[in-house]
Amino acid sequence: MKPTLSHSVRAGAMLVLLLPLGGSVPANRSSASPARATLPVQGAQPDPSVIAQFGLLNNTKLQSYIDSKGMQMGRISDRPADVKGFTIVDSPIINAFATPDGHVYFTRGIMAHFNNEAQFSGVLGHEIGHITARHGQKQQTRSTIANGALILGSILSKRVASVIEPASQVVGLGLLKYGRDAENEADNLGVKYSSKIGYDPASMADFFLTLQRTEQSSGAATVPTFLSTHPNSADRYQRVKKLAVTAEQQAGRQLAVNRDQYLRMIEGLPYGDNPREGFVENSVFYHPDLKFQFPVPQGWKSQNSPSQFQMAEPNGKAVQILLPAGNKSLDETAQALVQQLQLQNAQAQKTTVNNFPAVVIQGDQVGQDQQTGQQGVTASTLSYIIQDGQTLYALVGLCGPGTLNTYGSTFQRVAQGFRRLTDASKLNKQPERIRIKTAKAGQTLASALAANGVSSKRYEELGILNGMKTTDKMTAGQLFKVVGR
């Protein structure tokens, strides 16, 4: 995931991750909105933890579409009562997943990469298959929603990562990595359910190729985490193709693909990272909607979600995290932070950061060392709480015990670099969006992209997005996707 400290960070939702300090943050004007346009099956609402991690996509047309198709497929499934609801989340990652509570989620990234209704229907059927086969209930191991959704677990030392353990727990939403038997069963059910509501299930197999190409392409915009949570196999494409042939024979009619209808429906869908929700450029994090900026330490890895923005030293020896901290007083918030981090010998001092009232807190975190099992100091911390109007932000810096002399100056530079964003070019930066174009006779995809001003550096990326090779010949009037602001 790319930087997206977004969606008013969901009225304090990010506090669940580390700092349950109370209060809420006023809504910003991002592309996502907490409001649901339509109710899913049986009125089930999405899991708040999923929304805190990804955010909701504010697209009434697409949400209504997946509700309609999801309810239609849920009704003909083997266990209709188990299928609870459907939600599109505001993430560029290519993924779809079902949680054990019976809810199916699609990212806007995967919606952008489908090229017809039948591909969507096949993946929808696959996910409903996981629900109706009760794979979630049969497997107790829990994992994160998407590989790498949090960078902390992979790039921080065990000692520092343990400090952030609450964050990992929050995103442990029951998205399970299934074995081959479960995947095959879900594929079978996906073919069965999608053909039953009138769609050609062979398209599900075709979409596997898009996912594989995305994974193999270093130039692709997003990582297909669908493959990491849905392990692939060499014969899966052929197997689903064969199942699709049988399903179509049993249907006794030609099943629908509906390419043009789908492409017209996703016209204008945000593509890739949404800079309105925060972006890093030249080692600076900018948030146009919340109108602030601060530096990112040179060479540090950064990651963001609607819940928090994280920066980590490349060898995992230190981390600094930006979180909203509610709207109580600076003193109350500082006390709550000290308690939540379990700091001993904490020292707090009022200060200002570029005219923002602030409190700086230094102390040692005490707890159980994961490596030795002994109680003691688990991390050193230097944290800032910064007040912007009615909103408070916490910049929490954590490093190994006794290493604050090494990393404290870095934590300090980041916090003291927090300031109002006034650069119009950053404030007005807009996301790229899917644009649907019409081919002329004799054009290849590459020549059609060139005619629409697409850089040759992006041909392969756009080929994957269209489910085509750049050398593929197009027919007059054929619709295809480009991206642009």
Do 40 and 188 lie in one domain? The reply is: yes
What gap in Å lies between CA 413 and CA 400, rounded to an integer?
A: 19
What gap in Å lies between CA 283 and CA 299, rounded to an integer?
A: 8
Rounded average pLDDT over 151-155: 28
Do 196 and 83 lie in one domain? The reply is: yes
Do 195 and 111 lie in one domain? The reply is: yes
Pick from 90-104, 220-234, 235-249, 333-347: least confident: 220-234
Q: Which of 271, 286, 317 is the last residue of a domain?
A: 271
What is the reported pLDDT for 315?
Answer: 85
What tens digit of pLDDT does each residue of 351-366 get? 999 999 999 999 998 8
Share of the chain above pLDDT 90, in %: 53
Does 185 reside within a domain? yes
**CATH code of the domain in which 407 resides:** 3.40.1000.10
What tens digit of pLDDT does each residue of 304-324 get? 777 788 999 988 889 999 988
pLDDT band, very low/low/confident/very high, at 226 (cuts 50, 70, 90):
low
Does 288 reside within a domain? yes
Range of the domain at 448: 432-484
What is the reported pLDDT for 131?
Answer: 93
Do 209 and 291 lie in one domain? The reply is: no
Does 22 reside within a domain? no
Q: Which of 271, 297, 328 is the last residue of a domain?
A: 271
What tens digit of pLDDT does each residue of 399-441 get? 989 899 999 999 999 999 999 999 999 999 999 999 999 999 9
Positive or negative, the CA dihedral 208, 211, 215, 216 is positive
Do 215 and 255 lie in one domain? The reply is: yes
Does 164 reside within a domain? no
Do 420 and 303 lie in one domain? The reply is: yes
Longest distance between any two alpha carbons in the chain, whole Å: 76
Does 125 reside within a domain? yes
Do 284 and 180 lie in one domain? The reply is: no
Neighbours of 188 (CB within 10 A): 18
Rounded average pLDDT over 200-219: 80
pLDDT for residue 218 is more than 60? no
What is the reported pLDDT for 380?
Answer: 92
Do 193 and 280 lie in one domain? The reply is: no
pLDDT band, very low/low/confident/very high, at 227 (cuts 50, 70, 90):
low
Do 422 and 449 lie in one domain? The reply is: no
Does 92 reside within a domain? yes
What gap in Å lies between CA 307 and CA 4, rounded to an integer?
A: 8
pLDDT for residue 78 is more than 50? yes
What is the reported pLDDT for 168?
Answer: 32
Do 295 and 243 lie in one domain? The reply is: no
Domain count, the chain: 3
Does the global pTM surpass 0.75? no
pLDDT band, very low/low/confident/very high, at 325 (cuts 50, 70, 90):
confident
pLDDT band, very low/low/confident/very high, at 252 (cuts 50, 70, 90):
confident
What is the reported pLDDT for 22?
Answer: 31
What is the reported pLDDT for 233?
Answer: 52
Rounded average pLDDT over 90-111: 91
pLDDT for residue 21 is more than 60? no
**Crossing angle between the packed helical segments 180-196 and 236-251, to the nearest 10 degrees:** 30
pLDDT band, very low/low/confident/very high, at 179 (cuts 50, 70, 90):
confident
- Position with higher pLDDT, 436 vs 24: 436
pLDDT band, very low/low/confident/very high, at 274 (cuts 50, 70, 90):
confident
Does 376 reside within a domain? yes
Q: Which of 399, 427, 455 is the last residue of a domain?
A: 427
Do 92 and 78 lie in one domain? The reply is: yes
Does 99 reside within a domain? yes
Do 280 and 359 lie in one domain? The reply is: yes
